[in-house]
Amino acid sequence: MTTFRWSAISAGGDMIRGVTEAPDRTTVVEKLQRQGNVVLRAELAARRGRLAELLEFDFSGRRRLDAARLSQFTRELAIMLEAGQDLDRALRFVVESATNTHVRNILSALRDRVRSGSSLASALAGEPRSFSRFYIGLVRAGEAGGTLPETLNRLATLLEREQSLNANLRSSLIYPALLVVAAAVSIFFLLDYVLPQFQPIFEQAGAQLPAATRALMTVGLLAGAAGPWVLAGLALVGVVARQALSVPAYRLKFDGWLLRLPIAGRLLRETIAARLTRTLGGLLQNGVALIPALAIAKDAVGNLAASAAVESAALAAKGGTGLSGPLGATGVFPSRTIHLLKLGEEAAHLPEMALKAADIHDEQARLMMQRLVALAVPSITIVMGLAVAGIVGALVTAMLSLNDLAG
């Protein structure tokens, strides 16, 4: 049996918490639901200590919710509002169920603003680091249309999908990154530590190291001597590049260059298209007009060149030319995006088609990343194997030379 910690809203509208032993989470949820409770959370009970609190501490000093906690907050708030709770009580439940002090402070400030008479959207605008314009725009539309619970539910789904895509992309890069680090450390160790052990032996014997071994030793000495300077240079380049990219003109050129890269550029375009269509579809589905929706969506794509393309398409759309044509003329987004948006415009189902396009682009980005990883892993392994084989070959040559000297 496994121990689960849970929180729920009782039939009387009160927050209840507890710990239950069960074979799995589904059993806990079903048991609570049979008792008439609305389940907010059911997770493995783990002993929390000072180390756990330290790992959750925000060292950046920035007051914000990360993607996972934002998605969790949205889902819990939607559940409670759909269960018939008023906004103040729902926010109180979310604050009380927060396990992190940093998160609890942000949500408490949010609730205080609402209790002072602000709308939820206005209260969210007071935390711009945590809630994007897209998030605030959807909430404002939901409040204006009287559909806040449904809006938050759809918003939670969109956030969870985007979080899942980002998590898949990051996890796909972990193994190749570990391989590169392992290869670099192994090669540096062989060049900087193992090979130099042979030089004193040959000097005592009055002989010269083989040419291949001497060449590799020279590379090792240069790497050891120049390593700190190279790292310092890379750090300096990083600082200069960061300052340069803070200038919009340079950032625009850099982002455009990224989109034109042969393989990475295509993956980036798929990811950007997914963000654009997901944001646009979500806003349109909640009653936001096309032009204001595009104004919000252009900030969600995360690429200045793509944002400029959306902005130019929005200007053209104001003249009644539609969205898909001007957006396709920019040449930034995949043709699949343009085709699906055009179908949505022709069938008067643009919100639905935009969300379907987002799902398709998410899947395409995931498949492309899988293919890239499938190609990168054997390539890195082969290069690492050849490099290590060359170094080992130089070691064997040196050892054979020692045998010849001894003979």
Q: Could you read off the pLDDT of 30-64 as tens digits, one per residue?
A: 888 888 777 767 777 654 444 444 444 454 445 67
Q: Which residue has the higher pLDDT, 220 or 155?
A: 155
Lowest-confidence region among 186-190, 259-263, 293-297, 334-338: 186-190
Average pLDDT over residues 14-25: 75
Residue 23 has pLDDT above 50, yes or no: yes
The percent of residues above 70 in pLDDT, for the chain, comes to 89
What pLDDT score was predicted for residue 353? 93
Burial classification of residue 134, based on how many CB atoms lie within 10 Å of its CB (0-12 exposed, 13-18 middle, 19 or more buried) = buried
- What integer pLDDT is reported at residue 63 of this predicted model? 63
Runs of H (alpha helix) within 146-210: 148-189, 198-205
Cβ pair 155, 353 in contact under 8 A: no
Distance CA 117, CA 298 (A): 31
- How many whole angstroms separate alpha carbon 111 and alpha carbon 109? 5
Q: What gap in Å lies between CA 183 and CA 396, rounded to an integer?
A: 20
Query: What does the mean pLDDT of the chain come to?
Result: 81
| Average pLDDT estimate for 373-383 | 83
Strands (E) in 34-134, as ranges, are 38-44
Q: What is the 3-state secondary structure (H, E, C) of 364-387?
A: HHHHHHHHHHHHHHHHHHHHHHHH
395: confidence class by pLDDT, cuts 50, 70, 90: confident
Which of 62-66, 77-81, 310-314 is the least confident region?
62-66
Could you tell me what percent of the chain has a pLDDT over 90? 6
Residue 14 pLDDT grade (very low, low, confident, very high; cuts 50, 70, 90): low
**Inter-residue contact 38 to 83 (CB < 8 Å):** yes
**83 has a pLDDT exceeding 60:** yes
Does an H or E element contain 17, and which? strand 15-22
State pTM to two decimals.
0.66
Q: Which two tokens stand for residue 183?
A: 């290869």
14: left (phi over 0), alpha (psi -120 to 50) or beta: beta
| One-letter identity of residue 302 | G
